[in-house]
Chains A and B, each alone.
Chain A
């Protein structure tokens, strides 16, 4: 009985506020005659009509494919470079100001630059996503590798654990909490860049579709696109949480026990 009640309470907490907000939205939008805020049921109808059709193949899948390619590239390159920079202090000192500078450039301004080099095709978009989202991964990996426990590093050296084994057993696990932090930041940047690069110059993709709707004043469809992006973002962050809780289970357990919680 108590389990049931607790479950009910947490369900209420989970859905309560969203339900209230949706109801408010429904109520106000149904009474507004503002052209830009259409009634919610119109948006939802538009959502079904717009996205559950050929657009899945035309717009959503290409976007997701570019996102996946760009994000994977950013993570792989970022971790690789980060490990190198993290373990070579002199090299790090040499590159640090340059990296700081590149990181500080707002990634969207690279779109015009990269358009010069690689046109407006998929390559450009993937490169934009990689160049924008690599920095959190790279810099967090560097910091993580730098901060490896001295005792662990010395122990590994005493046992002559070097090369790949050192990387796999010591460096990557020790840096992984930091790496994951960087990966989480990179994910949202990658999503934003996917949308922006499509808004800029494209013939397909979710961002392209939304801009198209806006220019043709298809307001409910535009809103449905915004909703879709929200849902994609939510799904990605849930997936990432799942991944994080798997990958860092040992770490969270360690922290909890260090803090004296159960």
Chain B
């Protein structure tokens, strides 16, 4: 049943999903969701949806963005919202244009990207190795469970004061926050993944006397990889959030500190422009990680249905 649905989704659902970008958490349901949604809509739809099918989803998405920009333009112009608080969209766009011509802006983008990239690399490497190790050794898993449960919910921003005192406002304190925050999703997903090894596969591997390395390579790793990719995706957006937060709170150079600067100097359109840039950066990160995930898991799309839980 499940398999059939998915094949059907491959025929009708995927081109549809490729046009729009499926939302987050959607790693979970994108496969079965798309396949169950599209034919279902067709079947039930005759009456209501006949008009809609002529317009592709991607066009609707563009329309939505245009609508938002239009609303942002009109609200302050009409005077519903004071333009001191919310400048018209065109002002934001021109502020963005001005900034894009300056080197300082690109330096800030680069600084943010650096904090994100280094931090993510460290936490993915550490999370993968430790996750494999702790997950495969029963005693370690039991012994660390309570500690992990304790450390994980400590909000990383609680470390802000410590980072400032110890490392000042440089890259190190940003990295400390980024690594601390993005390490946990990777580690937890990895632990779940290692746990999820099919009992039959495990017993089979034991029967054939696979070595520890071979078991890791051929049994544990393929099972855990989809979980790991979900963890990486979560970690990537967490890392960006923390990089910007660190800049905003601590004042490490980057987009966050530029926003704080724009706000304190009352450059409202520039501030909005920078907020838009951080959002765009976030979208970029999502697209990037999704593309990586798709490539890495091309053999295993069905397992993604369980990966998020």
Interchain CB contact under 8 A, A177 and B282: no
Interchain CB contact under 8 A, B278 and A181: no
Q: Which of the residues A104, A143, A207, A213 comes within 8 Å of B279, measured between beta carbons?
A: A104
Chain A's nearest CB lies how many Å from the CB of B207?
Answer: 19
B151 close to A (CB within 8 Å): yes
Q: A181 and B20 in contact (CB under 8 A), knowing A101-B280, A112-B263, A230-B151?
A: no
Interchain CB contact under 8 A, A98 and B65: yes
Stretch in A23-31, A40-48, A121-129, A194-202 with 4+ CB within 8 Å of B: A194-202
Residues of chain A lying within 8 A (CB to CB) of residue B84:
116
Q: A14 and B146 in contact (CB under 8 A), knowing A90-B49, A116-B85, A210-B158?
A: yes
A162 close to B (CB within 8 Å): no
A21 close to B (CB within 8 Å): yes
Give the size range of A's interface with the partner: 35 or more
Q: Which residue of B lies closest to A194 (CB)?
A: B155
Chain A's nearest CB lies how many Å from the CB of B56?
Answer: 8
Give the size range of B's interface with the partner: 35 or more
A97 close to B (CB within 8 Å): yes
Residues of chain B lying within 8 A (CB to CB) of residue A94:
60-61, 63-64, 67
Query: Most A CB atoms within 10 A — which of B32, B64, B144, B309?
Result: B64
Interchain CB contact under 8 A, B63 and A146: no
Interchain CB contact under 8 A, A140 and B279: no
Interchain CB contact under 8 A, B25 and A143: yes
Residues of chain A lying within 8 A (CB to CB) of residue B237:
104
Complex Cα distance, B263 from A18, in Å, reads: 43
Interchain CB contact under 8 A, A16 and B143: yes
Give a binary string over A122-150; 1 marks a CB under 8 Å from any B CB, 0 the rest: 00000000000001100110111011111
Interchain CB contact under 8 A, A17 and B263: no
Chain A residues engaging chain B, CB cutoff 8 angstroms: 10, 13-18, 21, 36, 89-90, 93-113, 115-117, 135-136, 139-140, 142-144, 146-150, 153, 157, 177-178, 181-182, 188, 191-192, 195-196, 199-200, 207, 210-211, 213-214, 219, 222-223, 225-226, 229-230, 233-234, 236-237
Chain B residues engaging chain A, CB cutoff 8 angstroms: 20-26, 28-30, 32-33, 36-37, 39-41, 44, 49, 52, 57, 60-65, 67-68, 84-85, 142-147, 149-162, 164-166, 237, 240-241, 244-245, 248-249, 256, 259-260, 262-263, 268, 271-272, 274-275, 278-283, 285-286, 308-309
30 sampled A-B residue pairs with Cβ under 8 A: A13-B145, A15-B146, A36-B165, A90-B49, A93-B20, A103-B282, A104-B237, A104-B279, A105-B282, A106-B245, A109-B256, A109-B259, A109-B278, A110-B275, A113-B272, A143-B28, A143-B29, A143-B30, A149-B36, A150-B40, A177-B309, A181-B28, A188-B155, A191-B153, A192-B156, A207-B157, A225-B158, A226-B158, A226-B159, A230-B151
